[in-house]
């Protein structure tokens, strides 16, 4: 995996070996995967998101777990906190607990990224 702080959805899709729509679906099912958004509303995945997506892919594609089975397995292994398990019908990100702190942290990360963007990234103006 490249040594970067943030990855765009196309990069993550190529790394993980799935289509971008699959990543968007997994975001709706696994609340622990929450990419930030750029000012242009592009998804920006952190390294920990990408690592979790590799694990999710392994569980679903290699181990042949169902979505629910993969969630259970991640909870049992301690990689998915029980508070991250969204009840059926819940709106992703609908939990107000800690939302402000999480948003502040992500905004600071994005702010720092804008100060030092990756000049090798596609679409870079440098």
Q: Strand (E) positions, the chain?
A: 6-8, 36-37, 43-46
**Is 56 part of a structural domain of the chain?**
yes
CA dist., res. 87 & res. 107, Å (int): 27
Q: What is the mean pLDDT of the chain?
A: 79
> CATH no. for residue 25?
1.10.1660.10
Q: Domain count for the chain, please give it.
A: 1
**Is 77 part of a structural domain of the chain?**
yes
Question: What digits encode the pLDDT tens for the residues 65-112?
Answer: 999 999 999 999 887 655 544 444 433 444 444 556 666 666 666 666
Structure-block tokens of residue 37: 């958004």
**Is 120 part of a structural domain of the chain?**
no
pTM, two decimal places: 0.63
Greater confidence (103 vs 17) lies with 17
**Is 14 part of a structural domain of the chain?**
yes
Q: What is the 3-state secondary structure (H, E, C) of 87-121?
A: CCCCCCCCCCCCHHHHHHHHHHHHHHHHHCCCCCC
Q: Which domain holds residue 83?
A: 6-115
**Residue (of 95, 56, 49, 57) closest to 72 by Cα position:** 56
């Amino acid at each position: 995996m490249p040594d970067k702080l943030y990855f765009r959805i196309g990069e993550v899709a190529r790394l993980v070996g799935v289509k971008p729509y699959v990543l968007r679906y997994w975001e709706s099912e696994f609340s622990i995967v929450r990419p930030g958004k750029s000012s242009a509303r592009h998804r920006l995945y952190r390294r920990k998101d990408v690592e979790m997506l590799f694990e999710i892919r392994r569980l679903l594609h290699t181990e042949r777990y169902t979505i629910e089975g993969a969630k259970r397995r991640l909870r049992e292994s301690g990689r998915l906190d029980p508070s991250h398990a969204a009840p059926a019908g819940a709106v992703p990100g609908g939990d107000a607990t800690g939302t402000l702190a999480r948003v502040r942290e992500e905004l600071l990360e994005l702010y720092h990224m804008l100060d030092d963007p990756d000049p090798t990234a596609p679409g870079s103006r440098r």
